[in-house]
Amino acid sequence: MDLSDLRVNGERLRASLEEMAKIGATPGGGVQRLTLSDEDKRARDLFVGRLEEIDLEVTVDEMGNIFGRRPGKNDELPPVFSGSHIDSQPKGGRFDGILGVMGALEVMRTLHENNVQTERPVLIVDWTNEEGSRFAPAMVASGVWAGKLDRDWAYSRTDRDGKVFGEELERIGYKGSAPAKAWPFHAYYELHIEQGPVLESIGKTIGIPKGILCLHWYDVYIEGKANQVGPTPMEGRNDALCAAAEMILAVQSVPARMGGNMVATVGEIQNYPNSRNIIPDGVHFTVDIRSWDDHLAINAWEQLKIDFQAAAGKNGCPIRFEETWRVEHTPFAEKLVGLLAQKAEALGYSSHHMVSGAGHDASYMNMLGDAAMIFIPSIGGRSHVEVENSTWEDCESGANVLLHCMIESANEV
Ligand code: HGY
Ligand code: MN
Ligand code: MN
């Protein structure tokens, strides 16, 4: 068979994405499939069933990562694998993560029905908790698998309701027995929506990231003094929320102050006791800093700590920081980036080289071996929202590029 004529089944890919979108569907047209939730379990169970349908050898590791393995002619050679994540943001979209898992499934289905025998084994993976929304940090399970994060530290992470990661993993029945420990691999590919405006704005179909920005996550805790809002004069208050407000504006201005290519965001905040007639005495907020330049991002954090101490002192509110998580910027394997461009062209798709501002499990794979990503356009450049959308045609194009890159890499000996 001339494999160059092989194509995925776009209708089947659409059907699998629509089937998954029903699990955790929200009234606004998005999904809520928080990691280790009942919705995550239902989607995982469906996914495992689909892997078994095409005779893949299914393994669940101790971080709940799900692998489906297809043997190769030289089965002892390091494999090629692809995947992404099933979990979503609280009001997430129908494509973030799940496109990479269903796209890889479509590739495996295409290989299976055409009885394509590759030299190397080929695997598909669903990484637990890529989003880091319910349990911080993001990409925690691929980070443990890659040996960059500690398994028991990950197990100990808690969500806003005090639920513990390791216990929730057990509760949904996905705390597997296989060690969450990397094995040698030949190449890792991840299909994903761009989650930004670039491809749509220039009318290109395939995005080829040269890499991913560094992601630095911090947690800030401020202590104030609660009191009745009426009798307490303004001067001398220790208002934790006013202190936080000054700090949050410092986060917003730090990229410009650092003069570099950077983004900095406060996405999450809790205010205590959060009663309209009590002066707040406790605030927790998060800081997310991203840049291609890791040192610039770290310098920004050093500057913010100075800003925060000044605001804390002015308001008489003691402050505590947690340097929660850092993953360095990720320059992908030039060999795979070149192959992606070549396959996109051979398939007749326009393509564009770019950088990923969103974090992905591919960051950790890239620390261990050759990794690269395939982007498709996000309509309106929107993501992590219910209106997140891409065309079925672009999903199919991205999966075709994935198919041919995986075949090419899996036949390298
Ligand atoms: O934070 C991110 O960019 C990803 O969604 N975890
Ligand atoms: Mn994602
Ligand atoms: Mn995401």
Q: How far apart are CA 149 and CA 132, in angstroms?
A: 14
> Looking at ligand 1, which atom is closest to the CA of residue 131?
6
> Looking at ligand 1, which atom is closest to the CA of residue 138?
6
- Calculate how far, in angstroms, residue 96's C-alpha sits from the geometric centre of ligand 2: 5
Up-side HSE of residue 72: CA atoms within 13 Å toward CB?
22
Residue 22: DSSP 8-state: T
Q: Do the domains spanning 3-213+329-410 and 214-327 agree at the CATH topology level?
A: no
Nearest CA to ligand 1 atom 1: 359
Among the listed residues 115, 44, 126, the one whose alpha carbon sits nearest the alpha carbon of residue 81: 126
Mean of per-residue pLDDT scores for the chain: 98
Give yes or no for residue 1 having a pLDDT over 80.
no
Decide the pairing of beta strands 66-70 and 57-60.
antiparallel
Give the total residue count for the chain: 413
Contact status, residue 193 vs residue 376, Cβ threshold 8 Å: yes
Topology adopted by domain 3-213+329-410: Aminopeptidase (3.40.630)
- Calculate how far, in angstroms, residue 177's C-alpha sits from the geometric centre of ligand 3: 27
Q: How far is C-alpha 111 from the chain's CA centre?
A: 27
Q: 147-156, long-range: CB within 8 Å, 24+ apart, which pairs?
A: 147/181, 147/182, 147/368, 148/327, 148/364, 148/367, 151/62, 151/63, 151/180, 154/63
Among the listed residues 251, 242, 214, the one whose alpha carbon sits nearest the alpha carbon of residue 331: 214
- For ligand 1, whether the C-beta of 97 sits within 6 Å is no
Please give the pLDDT value at position 407. Answer: 98
Q: How far apart are CA 283 and CA 270, in angstroms?
A: 6
Q: Indicate the pTM of the whole model.
A: 0.97
pLDDT digits (tens, 9 = 90+) for 87-124: 999 999 999 999 999 999 999 999 999 999 999 999 99
> Looking at ligand 1, which atom is closest to the CA of residue 288?
1
pLDDT digits (tens, 9 = 90+) for 365-407: 999 999 999 999 999 999 999 999 999 999 999 999 999 999 9
Give yes or no for residue 225 having a pLDDT over 90.
yes
Give yes or no for residue 131 having a pLDDT over 90.
yes
- For ligand 1, whether the C-beta of 194 sits within 6 Å is no
- Confidence at 258, pLDDT banded by 50, 70, 90: very high
- For ligand 1, whether the C-beta of 130 sits within 6 Å is yes
Ligand nearest to the CA of 101: 2
Topology adopted by domain 214-327: Alpha-Beta Plaits (3.30.70)
List residues, by chain if needed, whose CB lies under 5 Å from ion ligand 3: 96
For residue 225, count CB atoms less than 10 angstroms from its CB and return exposed for 0-12, middle for 13-18, buried for 19 or more.
middle
Q: How far apart are CA 197 and CA 367, in angstroms?
A: 28
- Calculate how far, in angstroms, residue 246's C-alpha sits from the geometric centre of ligand 2: 31
Please give the pLDDT value at position 260. Answer: 81
- For ligand 1, whether the C-beta of 116 sits within 6 Å is no
- For ligand 1, whether the C-beta of 288 sits within 6 Å is no
Q: How far apart are CA 200 and CA 62, in angstroms?
A: 39
> Looking at ligand 1, which atom is closest to the CA of residue 130?
6
Ligand nearest to the CA of 263: 1
Domains in the chain: boundaries: 3-213+329-410, 214-327
CA torsion through residues 154, 158, 159, 163, sign: positive
- For ligand 1, whether the C-beta of 359 sits within 6 Å is yes
